[in-house]
């Protein structure tokens, strides 16, 4: 009996080293630009994406918010469970390599009919069986199934990393917009105070007969218009705080503040790195390629289904009136094999193969689209960051000029060289200019965040330090590193 099982096992191992039908995966040829449009300097290997997020953002409060979001954010936790599901599915596919062993047993008691030649006394019958079935992977069907499951798992892991990067981006952008609203509220309150003084002055002059009703009404309209923006900004600030709290996995609540918007540090220029490195950095591109690997393996599975499957079976057990005799005279065993080959399937197998090839072609186009979109995003954000820097420089000059105009008009009014309407007009021009400068400052910060994301920032996400300076969140399993 032992010899039979040893021979069977050796045969299975020999047959299990058969070929794997279907195409072997190779990355599709891609035409990538030698230099990213908008990168005027010579291409360098160094990239903004090589830096961890806590090196990009210098606001300690923002760092704490991001760290909390990576720990408690809803998207992060959902992504972690999707990885666990994919890991389990890969384990299910891997189990196909091994034999399936099942055991069953039973006991019955009964009596034979009267007149039986064996007598009619009650009879006990016990049985126990151990059965084995093992599909021999002649054509690599199981290996291809495992390749597909592993690729899906790796794609899910890359998607998890993409969720982490997106969450860092979302928290930073939402926080910067909150600081912009804070600055706009401060501007609105300062401007309202200035317009209040102007209106009070015009009102006193009107009562004294030194000012016209038109001038006073104009001052009142400017005051009311600016004052009306304060409750609107306060409403937006509350909504923005609630958005930040949601990203952190909290109930709606106030959010602490760190550096003011104008005190947030911005790098003067951003090196995008080599264009070829983008394919290896971005989690979405790595996930798209793993889905292409899975589709490629599924083509192999569809081809293998055209061929016969070989299964080995074995059984060992016993049947006896007494339990103690089960493995004595009542012992039974059997060893066998079976070959199952498709003969007529109504073109089912053919269409399965065509469907698998179509899925592979679709995945290939999706991968190509993802790569092209990645370069488009990097180029657009790179140009936007530099153009916004130039725009901000001009707006700073504009705001400085308007502030100087307000001061000069005040001096002219005090010296009796002009009326106060000139002061009011200067103030009316300063308010939107200050708001525009605040908006441009936020847009530069937001573009910095988007550029970091589009470059695949923190691309070594399996490094323990990437997710936080003191802690690793949702680490990738050892097998995927």
Write the DSSP assignment of 200-252 as a string of letters: HHHHHHHHTTSS-HHHHHHHHHHHHHHHHHHHHHHHHHHHHHHHHHHHTTPPS
**pTM for this predicted structure:** 0.82
Give CA–CA dist 21/307, Å, rounded. Answer: 10
In this prediction, residue 45 carries a pLDDT of 56
pLDDT in tens, 413-429: 767 777 777 878 888 89
Give CA–CA dist 380/231, Å, rounded. Answer: 35
Residues of the chain whose pLDDT is less than 50?
A: 1-17, 42, 461-462, 464-481
CATH of 24-101+139-311+350-480, one of 1.10.1740.10, 1.20.1600.10, 1.10.599.10, 3.40.640.10: 1.20.1600.10
In this prediction, residue 265 carries a pLDDT of 87
Q: Encoding tokens for residue 151?
A: 């690729």
The backbone torsions φ and ψ at residue 344, rounded to the nearest 5 degrees and listed phi first, read -140, 120
Q: Encoding tokens for residue 382?
A: 């790179």
Give CA–CA dist 432/449, Å, rounded. Answer: 26
Collapsed DSSP state (helix, strand, coil) of residue 156: helix
The backbone torsions φ and ψ at residue 362, rounded to the nearest 5 degrees and listed phi first, read -65, -45
Q: What burial letters (b/e) apply to 304-335, b meaning 16+ CB within 10 Å?
A: bbeeebbebebebbbbbeeeeebeeebeeeee
In this prediction, residue 116 carries a pLDDT of 55
Helices and strands in the chain, H and E counts: 10, 4
């Amino acid at each position: 009996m032992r010899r039979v099982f040893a021979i069977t096992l050796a045969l299975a191992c020999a047959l299990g080293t058969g070929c794997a039908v279907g195409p072997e995966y190779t990355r599709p040829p891609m035409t990538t630009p030698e230099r990213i449009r908008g990168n005027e300097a010579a291409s360098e290997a160094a990239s903004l994406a090589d830096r961890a997020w806590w090196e990009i953002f210098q606001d300690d409060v923002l760092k704490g918010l991001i760290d909390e979001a990576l720990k408690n954010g809803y998207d992060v936790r959902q992504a972690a469970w999707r990885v666990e599901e994919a890991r389990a599915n890969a384990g299910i596919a891997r189990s196909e390599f091994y034999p399936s062993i099942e055991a069953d047993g039973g006991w019955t008691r009964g009596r034979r009919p009267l007149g039986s030649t064996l007598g009619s006394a009650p009879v006990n019958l016990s049985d126990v069986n151990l059965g084995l079935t093992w599909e021999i992977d002649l054509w690599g069907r199981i290996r291809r199934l495992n390749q597909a499951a592993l690729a899906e798992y790796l794609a899910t892991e890359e998607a998890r990393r993409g969720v982490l990067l997106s969450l860092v981006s979302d928290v930073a952008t939402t926080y910067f917009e909150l600081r912009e609203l804070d600055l706009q509220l401060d501007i609105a309150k300062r401007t309202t105070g200035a317009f209040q003084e102007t209106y009070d002055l015009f009102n006193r002059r009107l009562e004294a007969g030194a000012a016209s009703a038109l001038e006073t009404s104009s001052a009142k309209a400017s005051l009311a218009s600016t004052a009306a923006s304060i409750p609107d900004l306060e409403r937006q600030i509350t909504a923005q705080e609630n958005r930040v709290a949601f990203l952190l996995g909290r109930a709606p609540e106030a959010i602490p503040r760190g550096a003011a918007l104008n005190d947030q540090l911005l790098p003067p220029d951003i090196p995008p790195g080599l264009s070829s490195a983008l394919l290896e950095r971005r989690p979405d591109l790595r996930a798209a390629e793993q889905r292409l690997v899975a589709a490629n393996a599924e083509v192999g599975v569809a081809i293998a289904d055209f061929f016969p499957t070989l299964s080995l079976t074995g059984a060992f057990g016993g049947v006896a009136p007494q339990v103690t005799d089960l493995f004595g005279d009542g012992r039974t065993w059997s060893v066998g094999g079976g070959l199952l080959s498709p003969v007529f399937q109504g073109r089912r197998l053919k269409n399965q193969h065509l469907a698998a090839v179509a899925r592979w072609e679709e995945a290939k186009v999706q991968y190509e689209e993802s790569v092209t979109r990645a370069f488009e995003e990097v180029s657009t954000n790179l140009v936007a960051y530099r153009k916004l820097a130039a725009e901000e420089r001009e707006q700073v000059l504009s705001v400085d000029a308007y502030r100087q105009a307000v001061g000069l008009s005040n001096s002219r009014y005090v010296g009796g060289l002009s009326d106060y309407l000139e002061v009011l007009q200067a103030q009316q021009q300063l308010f939107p200019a200050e708001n525009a400068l605040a908006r441009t400052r936020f847009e530069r910060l937001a573009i910095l965040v988007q550029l970091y994301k589009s470059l695949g920032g923190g691309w070594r996400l399996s490094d323990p330090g990437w997710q936080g300076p003191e802690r690793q969140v949702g680490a990738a399993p050892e097998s995927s590193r």
